[in-house]
Amino acid sequence: MSHLKIEELLDLAEGARAEATAPHLVSCAYCREQLADLQAAMAAVAPGGNEIPEPSPLFWEHFSARVREAVVVETASKPGMMDWAAGWLSWKVSAPVTAVAFLLLVTLSVRNAHAPAVSSETAALVTVAEAPADTAASSTDDPSWALVTDLAADMDWDAVVEAGLAAPTGSVDRAVFDLSADERRELQRLLKEELARSGSSGV
Tell me: does residue 71 bind other proteins (CB under 8 A). Answer: yes
Closest distance to other proteins from the beta carbon of 30 (Å) = 14
Among the residues of 90-164, which ranges form H helices? 91-114, 120-129, 133-139, 143-152, 157-162
Residue 20 is which amino acid? A
| 31 Cβ contact list (under 8 Å, min separation 6) | 3, 4, 9, 22, 24, 25
CA atoms within 13 A of residue 138's CA, in its CB half-sphere: 5
CA dist 156 and 165 (Å) reads 12
Closest distance to other proteins from the beta carbon of 55 (Å) = 6
Of 47, 38, 40, 50, which Cα lies nearest the Cα of 12? Answer: 38
CA dist 31 and 167 (Å) reads 85
> In the range 24-53, which residues lie near other proteins by CB under 8 A?
37-38, 40-47, 49-53
Which of these segments, 2-10, 25-33, 119-127, 146-154, binds other proteins (CB under 8 A)?
A: 2-10
Tell me: does residue 124 bind other proteins (CB under 8 A). Answer: no
* Among residues 15, 21, 60, 90, the one that binds other proteins under rule CB under 8 A: 60
Of 134, 142, 128, which Cα lies nearest the Cα of 150? Answer: 142
* Among residues 15, 24, 26, 68, the one that binds other proteins under rule CB under 8 A: 68
Q: Which is nearer to other proteins, 62 or 174 (CB)?
A: 62
Q: Which is nearer to other proteins, 38 or 104 (CB)?
A: 38
* Among residues 63, 84, 88, 145, the one that binds other proteins under rule CB under 8 A: 63
CA dist 123 and 35 (Å) reads 90
Tell me: does residue 142 bind other proteins (CB under 8 A). Answer: no
Measured CA to CA in angstroms, residue 133 lies from 76, 119, 161, 200 at distances of 58, 24, 25, 21
* Among residues 15, 26, 55, 167, the one that binds other proteins under rule CB under 8 A: 55
Site residues, other proteins (CB under 8 A): 6-7, 9-11, 13, 37-38, 40-47, 49-55, 59-60, 63-64, 66-68, 70-71, 74
